[in-house]
């Protein structure tokens, strides 16, 4: 699957209402496309749509809020 470059999606620092990865237990403002890291020792995960390592505190214009459970 082809992934889009970070530069093309304005990958940049996120904020409380929208960011890549879940940051706390009741967080409801993270993206559905974020793939968490395998180790809790890093903030870097992956994205289903954007190429490269993804910091969970960042954001891009493809952001789509994850469905709450």
Return the CATH number at 58.
Answer: 4.10.490
**Mean pLDDT score, 7-15:** 97
How many Cβ atoms sit within 10 Å of the Cβ of residue 53?
A: 13
- Residue 40's pLDDT is 77
- Residue 69's pLDDT is 56
E-strand ranges in 8-60 read 12-13, 34-35, 44-47, 54-55, 58-59
CA 60, chain centre distance (Å): 8
What is the DSSP code (8-state) at residue 48? Answer: S
For 34, phi and psi rounded to 5 degrees? Answer: -75, 135
Give the structural domain span for 40: 1-69
- Residue 1's pLDDT is 74
Model pTM? 0.88
pLDDT grade for 24, boundaries at 50, 70 and 90:
confident
Number of domains in the chain: 1
pLDDT grade for 68, boundaries at 50, 70 and 90:
low
Residue 43 has pLDDT above 80, yes or no: no
């Amino acid at each position: 699957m082809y992934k889009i470059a970070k530069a093309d999606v304005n990958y940049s620092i996120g904020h409380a209402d929208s960011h890549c990865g879940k940051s706390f237990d009741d967080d409801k403002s993270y993206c559905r496309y974020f793939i968490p890291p395998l180790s809790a020792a890093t903030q870097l995960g992956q994205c289903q749509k954007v190429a490269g390592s993804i910091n969970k505190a960042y954001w891009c214009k493809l952001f789509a809020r994850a469905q709450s459970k």
